[in-house]
Amino acid sequence: MPFDVLLLVLLGAALHATWNALVKSGTDKSLDAAMVALGAGAVGLFFLPFVPLPKPEAWPFILVSAVLQFAYFQLVAAAYRAGDIGLVYPLMRGVAPLIVAMTSGLVLGEHLTPTAMAGVLVVSAGVLTLALESRRGGRHAILLALANAIVIATYTFVDGAGARVSGNAISYTLWMALLPPVLLFTWAIARRGTAPVWNHVRRNWARGLFGGAGSIASYGLALWAMTKAPVATVAALRETAILFALLISVFILKEKASIWRYLAGAVIAGGVLILKLA
* DSSP letters spanning 204-264: HHHHHHHHHHHHHHHHHHHHHHHTTS-HHHHHHHHTTHHHHHHHHHHHTS-----HHHHHH
The yes-or-no verdict on residue 113 having pLDDT over 90 is no
What is the structure's pLDDT at 38? 92
Ranges 35-39, 190-194, 259-263: which has the least confidence:
259-263
What is the structure's pLDDT at 272? 77
The yes-or-no verdict on residue 159 having pLDDT over 80 is yes
Band (pLDDT 50/70/90 cuts) for residue 24 is low
Percent of the chain with pLDDT over 90: 33
Query: Alpha-carbon distance 256 to 194, whole Å?
Result: 39
Query: Alpha-carbon distance 22 to 196, whole Å?
Result: 20
Stretch 72-80: mean pLDDT: 86
What is the structure's pLDDT at 178? 94
Query: Alpha-carbon distance 11 to 36, whole Å?
Result: 18
Band (pLDDT 50/70/90 cuts) for residue 257 is low
Ranges 111-115, 131-135, 199-203: which has the least confidence:
131-135
Distances (CA, A) of 203 to 39, 198, 209: 14, 9, 12
The yes-or-no verdict on residue 278 having pLDDT over 70 is no
Band (pLDDT 50/70/90 cuts) for residue 240 is confident
DSSP element (H, E) containing 150 = helix 139-166
Stretch 175-198: mean pLDDT: 93
Query: Alpha-carbon distance 175 to 30, whole Å?
Result: 23
**Residue, of 220 and 127, whose pLDDT is higher:** 220
The yes-or-no verdict on residue 30 having pLDDT over 60 is yes
- Tally Cβ neighbours within 10 Å of residue 150: 15
Stretch 94-122: mean pLDDT: 86
The yes-or-no verdict on residue 185 having pLDDT over 80 is yes
